[in-house]
């Protein structure tokens, strides 16, 4: 496929998917009903959710300093904070372009070589992957009976067992093939996996590794709290169980990667997760939109202000 066509598809497909999912969510809950949920929402809980979200972003910016320091760079915290908010803002336009912009900001204003800045961001993403998979593992452990019961009621239990066995066999065959194959795809996969392992191990070789690990856990605890407390803004969701919170959070987290900043996909992902727990579709979709809208507005405002203030703060450079 031509490179220019690939670039066009990378930009347009998430947008088209987002537009489709917006239409899908509004087919489940009319715009007038959605508006009524926004009007009746408890904005005190939404504000608390925004506060937890803000803490997570500030912690992410501070954590970045621990990665840059061993490379010989004393980066100013305000520049790190503004770079993080610019990342989120730009990712709403072109997926993953925010990471490039974030590295470029440090290159321009702090003299950090672009490739080194990108390397720290990749290592950071590896830490985030470890955290999301840890949350998935905890959720499976805590909700195993419920999830297994749901799957058993939805699918034939024998088919589930056969499916799991087949997946394990396919994984083993695929792993052996990748190890022995000399094809370009196999080499790319091996390089990617090796990079992941090296990035993970580099965290434990860091001078301030425990501070880095603390902030990584703190960031994701804040994400969870942000999601949890915002559920109280919708009256019908008061008292929903821990299982629904965890599954909803995981589903919503993955939805952000599906479209630009989760537009359209976030409310649908929340609705899909909550429906497993027999939570009504109307408050589920409304909560998804309230959650996504509040966080998006915060990131757009802070990201926009960061873009404006960066050259002012660094006017002597």
> Does some domain include residue 21?
no
Instruction: State the Cα–Cα distance between residues 215 and 223, nearest whole angstrom.
Output: 12
> Does some domain include residue 122?
no
> Does some domain include residue 22?
no
**Sequential DSSP letters for 35-71:** HHHHHHS-HHHHHHHHHHHHHHHHHHHHHHHHHHGGG
40 contacts 237 by C-beta, under 8 angstroms? no
> Does some domain include residue 127?
no
> Does some domain include residue 295?
yes
> Does some domain include residue 77?
yes
Instruction: State the Cα–Cα distance between residues 77 and 58, nearest whole angstrom.
Output: 9
> Does some domain include residue 137?
no
Tokens of 21: 């999912």
Cβ-proximal residues to 313 (8 Å cutoff; 6+ apart), any chain: 78, 79, 82
Tokens of 243: 């299982």
Cβ-proximal residues to 55 (8 Å cutoff; 6+ apart), any chain: 218, 222
Find the domain containing 220 and state its range: 28-109+146-313
pLDDT in tens, the chain (317 residues): 566 666 666 667 767 776 777 887 878 888 899 999 999 999 999 999 999 999 999 999 999 998 888 778 888 999 999 999 999 999 888 777 888 899 899 988 988 888 888 888 888 888 898 899 999 999 888 877 777 676 666 666 667 677 778 888 888 888 887 777 777 777 777 776 665 566 556 666 677 788 899 999 999 999 999 999 999 999 999 889 888 999 999 999 988 888 878 888 999 999 999 998 889 999 999 999 999 999 999 999 999 999 999 999 988 86
Instruction: State the Cα–Cα distance between residues 188 and 151, nearest whole angstrom.
Output: 35
Q: How many domains does the chain have?
A: 1
Residue 267 burial (10 A CB sphere; 0-12, 13-18, 19+): buried
pTM: 0.83
Q: C-alpha 155: how far from its chain's center?
A: 29
Q: Which residues of 111-150 are buried (b: 16+ CB within 10 A; e: fewer)?
A: ebeeebbbbbbebbebbbebbeeebeeebeeebeeeeeee
> Does some domain include residue 217?
yes
């Amino acid at each position: 496929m031509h490179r220019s066509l690939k670039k066009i598809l990378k930009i347009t497909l998430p947008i088209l998917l987002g537009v489709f999912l917006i239409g899908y969510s509004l087919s489940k809950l009319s715009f007038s009903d959605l508006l009524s949920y926004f009007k009746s929402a408890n904005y005190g809980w939404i504000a608390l959710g925004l506060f937890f979200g803000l803490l997570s972003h500030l912690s992410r910016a501070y954590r970045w300093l621990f990665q840059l320091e061993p490379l010989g760079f004393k980066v100013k915290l305000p520049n790190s904070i503004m770079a993080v908010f610019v990342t989120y803002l730009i990712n709403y336009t072109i997926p993953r372009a925010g990471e490039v912009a974030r590295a470029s900001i440090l290159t321009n204003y702090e003299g950090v070589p672009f490739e080194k800045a990108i390397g720290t961001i990749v290592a950071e993403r590896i830490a985030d992957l470890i955290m999301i998979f840890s949350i998935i593992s905890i959720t499976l452990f805590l909700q195993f009976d419920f999830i297994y019961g749901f799957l058993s009621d939805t699918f034939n239990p024998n088919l589930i067992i056969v499916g799991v066995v087949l997946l394990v066999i396919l994984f083993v065959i695929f792993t052996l093939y990748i190890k022995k194959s000399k094809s370009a795809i196999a080499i790319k996969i091996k390089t990617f996996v090796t990079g992941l392992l090296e990035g993970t191990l580099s965290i434990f070789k860091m001078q301030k590794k425990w501070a880095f690990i603390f902030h990584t856990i703190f960031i994701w605890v804040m994400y969870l709290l942000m999601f949890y407390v915002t559920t109280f803004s919708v009256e019908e969701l008061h008292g929903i169980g821990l299982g629904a919170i965890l599954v909803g959070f995981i589903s919503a987290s993955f939805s952000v990667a599906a479209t630009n900043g989760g537009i359209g996909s976030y409310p649908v992902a929340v609705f899909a997760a909550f429906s497993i727990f027999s939570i009504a579709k109307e408050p589920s979709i409304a909560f998804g939109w309230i959650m996504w809208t509040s966080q998006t507005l915060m990131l757009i405002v802070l990201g926009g202000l960061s873009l404006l203030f960066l050259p002012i703060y660094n006017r002597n450079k």
